[in-house]
Structure 1
């Protein structure tokens, strides 16, 4: 704030040197002369003299009434240097922003399968007997003894023997009926999840097995086991849950203001604390259609290949979503924007020490600052530092100009009355 003093001093000098006069024809705003030291702008006087610090002659600084009225301000080069004014030329550039969030690894819900028993019986042997065990599709999970299953096997073998004998007969209707019985017996076994391979083995050996294995319907990790060896299980009872972890989902909560930068299909990267330096690449798979009203975030789901199993469910991961460049626009640094209530203002640099505040309409926030929708054109120059000090002076001068117009108006009316008296 030490550089605010010279600007406020200039304004005080400007205020102290303003006189208003009015008559029946004109209202005039004039400013008395103000003098400052070129080397020490904090030294301000309303009359010529020498700088008490360095002894240099004070130079005149004229207040521009027209500039005050339109809000612009003119600052001498020494003051510009002292307060560190920096400018840049506005230009169009690609709009980009990297969204970062904390993610949580989860199962791919489309790759989870429950194993249930479709027939009641007793578990004679339990081949897969602990959670976390890897199983292959078609691998026996347990051996089940079921009187119903034994009867169904016997029924199938009887139907098979009868159908084979009838195929050599002369009555085609009887042969067809026998085949229909065989198909029905076979279908009954299939409905109980007895595989075609198991039925083929039964047909080949012609021997009824006391137990029948229940097979894994897919490859994956056993995440739940709800059965014990020797237990009786009923029809429809849950036995196992198997999850394929070769592909996993990662959920991340993205803040409301970052949602314009996230879309389905975008590239995403994650890194894990226990694997420093290693990154995994995936993509945004789904954006939930509702928002968390407490955190003001939207949940985003990403899909990642996980052939080596490095991404484990319930792990936390650092997520980086890299949006595609959708369009170009005018982007200015965030520090160049003055937030004044509901207005957004930048300070234009017109050269020769002349500055002017201008209202702009901003769009999305990018990595490099704010997108400007309205108020700036490519090639114009704006202030990127010390703009708060410049804007303060220009706003005060504009306010003073308004006060001067009001006072001048009252003075004019008074003068008119005096003239009428003469």
Structure 2
């Protein structure tokens, strides 16, 4: 099909070269901030007892690792300490007794009692350790010869109290949860990716994260985990990113905008404006020179940033109409010129 230079100028025909250029796909989605699960801790009790003192007043309080949280009075704890002290006394008996020098049945009996006391001493020591009585506290009990009335539970991490079940005077049972603590020094971003976008993403993809809470601020991260299951309702899969949380500006359950840029290498590309969707396929008009244009069917690939990937139908270096191509197409239809089919 021929169009004179005058007609081309009149209708505003412009052409561009079919070129190989970097193809970058941008996936835009919404994310939600969540606490880093690897930095969550639960404080519970391993003994039965009653809460006699609370060091934390309310949910949301910030605490440091090793900070006392609660004192628990437990009769069982006191009884075990007394058993420990009695065993300690009997374990020392043979060494302290002047009868040790006598080689008689009384000495043998004392030796057997001492051996049994050593076993009891070690068993009660291990029981105290399993109840989270520290080695330092046990040594203090051993040196003073006195029991401690209450067991103090300490925070295992720095963080915020996210749940507080402990109440003054409450009876507690072994395994009962008293506090949940969250270290928010780093925070997760959980974003949803559509099923059809899954082949494009991988661990390590860089992402730009913005929040309405921090207008104008851009945060950068990368995908560090892709979850193994897809939601049946939304047909999306979750991906996880991690952000440092300076000054605790980021709060769990905040929403974020996430942009993941995927580099797909260099591909044969033309502007989207150079492609006409006929409903039956994609058509581009090739400038053969001297006012001659040839309509061709093309096979299109990915679209990104105003460009479209050409899989078949065009070659690098050819020129295609990028402006007024609908007018060129109308002229071709009037003249009965059909697109060259894909081979």
Which range, TM-score by smaller chain? Answer: 0.7 to 0.9
Aligned to 2:302: 364
**Pairwise CA distance, 1:225:** 0.5
Aligned to 2:45: 117
**Pairwise CA distance, 1:389:** 2.5
User: Deviations along 1:11-30, whole A, 9 cap, x unmatched?
Assistant: xxxxxxxxxxxxxxxxxxxx
Q: What is the aligned counterpart of 1:283 among 214, 219, 222? A: 222
Q: Does 1:235 align with 2:178?
A: no
Aligned to 2:203: 264
Q: Mark the CA change 1:88 to 1:155 in structure 2 (over 3 Å): closer, same or farther.
A: same
- Residue correspondence of structure 1 range 16-415 to structure 2 within 5 A: 73-165=1-93, 177-323=116-262, 325-398=263-336
**Pairwise CA distance, 1:188:** 0.9
Q: Distance in 2 between matches of 1:216 and 1:84?
A: 73
- For the aligned residues, what is the CA RMSD? 2.6
Q: What is the TM-score when the length of structure 2 is the normalising length?
A: 0.86
Aligned to 1:51: none
**Pairwise CA distance, 1:388:** 2.3
Which has the higher mean CA deviation after the structures are superposed, 144-153 or 385-394? 385-394
**Pairwise CA distance, 1:124:** 0.4
Q: Mark the CA change 1:298 to 1:347 in structure 2 (over 3 Å): closer, same or farther.
A: farther
Q: Distance in 1 between matches of 2:88 and 2:280?
A: 86
Q: Which runs of 5+ in 2 are unaligned?
A: 102-107, 339-343
User: Deviations along 1:324-359, whole A, 9 cap, x unmatched?
Assistant: x34211122222222223422211111122111212
User: Deviations along 1:381-417, whole A, 9 cap, x unmatched?
Assistant: 11112222222332453469xxxxxxxxxxxxxxxxx
**Pairwise CA distance, 1:255:** 3.6
Q: Distance in 2 between matches of 1:83 and 1:289?
A: 54
User: Deviations along 1:193-249, whole A, 9 cap, x unmatched?
Assistant: 223333233334332111111122222111001121111122222211111111111
User: Deviations along 1:34-63, whole A, 9 cap, x unmatched?
Assistant: xxxxxxxxxxxxxxxxxxxxxxxxxxxxxx
Higher relative contact order (CA 8 A, sep 6+): 2
Q: Mark the CA change 1:350 to 1:237 in structure 2 (over 3 Å): closer, same or farther.
A: same
Q: What is the TM-score when the length of structure 1 is the normalising length?
A: 0.71
User: Tell me, what secondary structure is at the counterpart of 1:183?
Assistant: helix
Q: Distance in 2 between matches of 1:223 and 1:301?
A: 22
Q: Distance in 2 between matches of 1:289 and 1:224?
A: 29
User: Tell me, what secondary structure is at the counterpart of 2:259?
Assistant: strand
Q: Which runs of 5+ in 1 are unaligned?
A: 1-72, 401-422
User: Tell me, what secondary structure is at the counterpart of 1:95?
Assistant: strand
Instruction: Write 1 or 2 for the structure with the bigger share of strand.
Output: 2
Aligned to 2:105: none
- The answer to whether the 8 A contact 2:17-2:270 is kept is no
Q: Mark the CA change 1:164 to 1:383 in structure 2 (over 3 Å): closer, same or farther.
A: farther
If you compute each CA radius of gyration, which structure gives the higher value, 1 or 2?
A: 1
User: Tell me, what secondary structure is at the counterpart of 1:96?
Assistant: strand
User: Deviations along 1:57-88, whole A, 9 cap, x unmatched?
Assistant: xxxxxxxxxxxxxxxx2112222112221111
Q: Mark the CA change 1:220 to 1:365 in structure 2 (over 3 Å): closer, same or farther.
A: same
- The answer to whether the 8 A contact 1:331-1:368 is kept is no
